[in-house]
C-alpha cells in the first residue's frame, strides 16, 4: 500500500526516529478526518498518537503505529495500535499513574492518552514488548 | 525545519511555520537562548498558531525555553495556542507553568512593553 493511501482504511507508520512521531500524528489526523471527526476530536486523537509514538521512541524503538477505521454495531471510529518489541512494562498500573516516568518525561503519556481517547488497553510482557490499543468513536 | 527568528527592537520573535519534530523544538529553544544574548533582547515571543498538537514534549520544551530565556534576563510570551489545542493539553494534564501567554502578537508585544515599564 502506498503512503497516504486510505482506500483500505488502514495505515502503518514505522516509528524509528522522532520525525516519525510527526508523521504518525499527521496520518492519524488525516484518517480521523476521513472517518468524520472534526475540531477538538482531531486534536485529541493526534495528541494521543503523539504520546504513544513518543513512548516507543523513548523506551522501545523501533516500533510501529497502525491506524485503522473501525465500526461497531452503532458507530464508526478510529483505532490506534502502537506496538514495539522493546523491554516491556513491568508494572502497568504504575505506568498508568499520572506523573510516573522512568525517563525524564512528564509521565503523562499513557494516562493522558487514556483521557483523550474513549477506549484504552495496554498489553505488555517484560522482554517481549508492549502494545497499546486505543479507540475513539464518532460522537 | 528551522524556525525563522526575527529581531524587532528589544524583542525577538520566532514564528513557527509548520509542524516541528522534537529535534526542531530543541534547536528552537537553543537558538532563542543564543539570540537573547546576541541581541540583548528583553523579550522573546514564540508564535505557535500553526501547531495543531502541543504534546508533553512540546510543552516541556516550551517551559524549558522560557526558563532558559528568563535566566538570560528576558521574558517569554507564547502566542496563538488554538482553543482545540488548549483543550487537549488540559485533558492530557499539561501546563505551561508560569510561562506568559497571549492571544496574538499585538497582545504579546503590549504585555512585554508593560513589563518593561
What is the rounded distance in angstroms from the CA atom of residue A56 to the CA atom of residue A65?
9
pLDDT of residue A108: 63
| Surface-to-core class of residue B116, CB atoms within 10 Å of its CB (0-12 exposed, 13-18 middle, 19+ buried) | exposed
Confidence check: pLDDT of A88 > 80: yes
3-state helix, strand, coil in chain A (%, to 5): 35, 30, 35
State the average pLDDT for chain A: 87
The answer to whether A32 contacts chain B (CB < 8 Å) is: no
Name residues whose C-beta falls within 8 Å of residue A83's C-beta, 6 or more positions apart in sequence.
A63, A64, A65, A66, A129, A130, A131, A132
Nearest C-alpha neighbor of A14 from the set A93, A73, A67: A67
Give how far Cα B54 sits from Cα of A65, A92, B34, B84, B93, Å.
19, 25, 24, 10, 12
pLDDT of residue A102: 59
Nearest C-alpha neighbor of B61 from the set A136, A104, A12: A104
- Render pLDDT for A20-39 as a digit per residue (tens, 0 to 9): 999 999 999 999 999 999 99
Tally of domains in chain B: 1
Q: Around Cβ B35, how many Cβ atoms within 10 Å? A: 20
pLDDT of residue A115: 92
Partners of A71 in the β-ladder:
A76
User: Are A47 and B22 inside 8 Å of each other by CB?
Assistant: no
pLDDT of residue A59: 85
Confidence check: pLDDT of A2 > 70: no
Q: Give the percent of chain A with pLDDT over 70.
A: 87
Pick the CATH number of A10-137 from 3.20.20.10, 3.30.565.10, 3.40.50.2300, 3.40.50.970: 3.30.565.10
pLDDT of residue A99: 65
pLDDT of residue B53: 94
Render the burial of A100-132: b for 16+ CB within 10 Å, e for the rest: bbeeebbbbbbbbbbbbbeebebebeeeebbbb
What is the rounded distance in angstroms from the CA atom of residue B79 to the CA atom of residue B86?
12
Domain boundaries along the sequence of chain A: 10-137
Residue B55 structural domain: 5-116
> What is the pairing mode between strands A63-71 and B43-47?
unpaired
Q: Which chain A positions have a beta carbon within 8 Å of B56's beta carbon? A: 51, 54, 105-106, 108-109, 112
Confidence check: pLDDT of A68 > 60: yes
- Render pLDDT for B62-117 as a digit per residue (tens, 0 to 9): 999 999 999 989 999 999 999 999 999 998 888 888 899 999 999 999 999 988 76
- Render pLDDT for B23-50 as a digit per residue (tens, 0 to 9): 999 999 999 999 999 999 999 999 999 9
User: Are B92 and A54 inside 8 Å of each other by CB?
Assistant: no
User: Are B54 and A47 inside 8 Å of each other by CB?
Assistant: yes
pLDDT of residue A101: 64
Mutation site, B23, B51, B88, B90, interface A, largest A CB count within 10 A: B88
- Residue B18, domain CATH: 3.30.750.24
User: Are A21 and B94 inside 8 Å of each other by CB?
Assistant: no
Q: Looking at chain A, list the stretches that DSSP marks H as alpha helix, in order from N- to C-terminal side.
A: 18-35, 39-59, 92-95, 109-116
- Among A2-16, A36-50, A83-97, where is mean pLDDT lowest? A2-16
For residue B75 the three cell numbers come to 521574558
Amino acid at each position: 500500500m502506498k503512503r497516504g493511501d486510505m482506500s483500505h482504511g488502514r495505515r502503518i507508520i514505522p516509528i524509528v526516529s522522532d520525525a516519525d512521531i510527526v508523521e504518525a500524528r499527521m496520518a492519524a489526523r488525516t484518517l480521523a478526518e476521513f472517518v468524520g471527526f472534526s475540531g477538538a476530536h482531531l486534536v485529541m486523537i493526534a495528541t494521543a498518537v503523539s504520546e504513544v509514538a513518543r513512548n516507543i521512541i523513548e523506551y522501545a524503538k523501533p516500533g510501529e503505529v497502525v491506524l485503522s477505521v473501525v465500526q461497531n454495531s452503532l458507530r464508526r471510529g478510529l483505532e490506534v495500535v502502537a506496538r514495539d518489541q522493546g523491554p516491556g512494562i513491568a508494572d502497568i498500573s504504575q505506568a498508568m499513574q499520572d506523573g510516573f516516568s522512568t525517563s525524564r518525561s512528564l509521565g503523562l503519556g499513557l494516562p493522558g492518552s487514556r483521557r483523550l481517547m474513549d477506549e484504552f488497553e495496554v498489553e505488555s510482557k517484560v522482554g517481549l514488548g508492549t502494545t497499546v490499543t486505543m479507540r475513539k468513536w464518532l460522537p | 525545519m528551522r524556525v525563522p527568528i526575527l529581531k524587532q527592537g528589544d524583542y525577538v520573535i520566532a514564528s513557527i511555520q509548520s509542524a516541528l519534530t522534537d529535534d526542531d523544538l530543541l534547536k528552537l529553544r537553543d537558538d532563542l537562548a543564543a539570540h537573547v544574548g546576541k541581541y540583548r533582547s528583553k523579550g522573546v515571543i514564540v508564535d505557535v498558531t500553526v501547531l495543531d498538537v502541543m504534546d508533553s514534549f512540546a510543552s516541556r520544551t516550551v517551559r524549558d525555553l522560557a526558563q532558559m530565556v528568563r535566566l538570560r534576563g528576558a521574558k517569554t510570551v507564547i502566542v496563538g495556542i488554538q482553543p482545540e489545542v488548549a483543550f487537549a493539553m488540559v485533558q492530557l494534564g499539561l501546563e505551561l507553568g508560569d510561562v506568559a501567554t497571549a492571544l496574538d502578537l499585538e497582545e504579546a508585544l503590549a504585555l512585554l512593553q508593560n513589563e518593561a515599564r
